[in-house]
Amino acid sequence: MHPDVQALLAVQRDDLEIYRLESKLAALEPRLASLEKERTRAAHELERATGAVAAEESRHREAMQRVETSRQSAERGQRAYESVTSPREAAAAMSQLDFAKRATEESERDAAQILGRIGEMRRHVADLQAALADVEHRQSDARAALDTERAEIEGQIADARAKREATARGVPRALLSRYDRVRTRRRAETIFPLRGPSCSACDTAIPTQRRAAMAATGSLEMCEGCGALLYAGD
């Protein structure tokens, strides 16, 4: 085998190791995403429940406002009743007073009911807060493990790239850049030996003349069948 091809095969081994490590790193993403999804779900549930409490509190303020308004109306009715000068005015004032008292009671009932609901909803919020804290607590170990694993793989990738760079210095520039162009497209094994007269990746036959040139000069030929770069094996 031509020494340039031998040197290029060493580069390819380094590249395949980098690809393997990069795939390992990429495989961490779905694990992180599933942790993130679980946490987000718990956080959204809490957010919705907190928003519902705020809406209910605003309804309670409105009900209390209605209580106040009808109380004032009842007081005015009371004063009007105390200063009537005819039975007809007395009847009218009494009717206004009754109406205002009923309205006050109704608003008070509303306000009390809403307050009861708010109490329940706050307990629900507290439960959801505890659930979110629980998720975060359970996840902290998993996240720490993922971080460690990621840092480890990133370190290995940095080492593998440095090694590749050193190995690549042993390959003539033109040969290396031809290999790199094809490799970048394939992102996998790129150079294959001939097996007999054919490409060992896909079995497409290579004409005799081209094979003779490959053996003599160490040149690479692109396989017309699969696009791999071929070298003479012996």
Which residues here bind Zn ion, judged by CB under 5 A? 199, 201-202, 204, 223, 225-226, 228
| Distance from C-alpha of 168 to C-alpha of 162, rounded to nearest angstrom | 10
d(CA 141, CA 95): 70
Q: Which is nearer to Zn ion, 172 or 197 (CB)?
A: 197
CB nearer to Zn ion: give 5 or 97. Answer: 5
Q: How far is the CB of 202 from Zn ion (least distance, A)?
A: 3
- DSSP-derived letter for residue 192 is E
Residue 220 CB, shortest distance to Zn ion, in Å, is: 12
Helix (H, G, I), strand (E, B) or coil at 190: coil
CB neighbours (10 Å) of residue 74? 19
Q: Scanning the structure block, which residue is given the tokens 């590249």?
A: 15
- State the minimum distance, in angstroms, from the CB of residue 178 to Zn ion: 16
Residues 33 and 196 sit within 8 Å (Cβ to Cβ): no
**Minimum gap (Å) between residue 30 Cβ and Zn ion:** 33
SS3 (DSSP) at 174: helix
Residue nearer to Zn ion on the CB measure, 85 or 208:
208
Q: Which is closer to Zn ion, CB of 64 or CB of 205?
A: 205
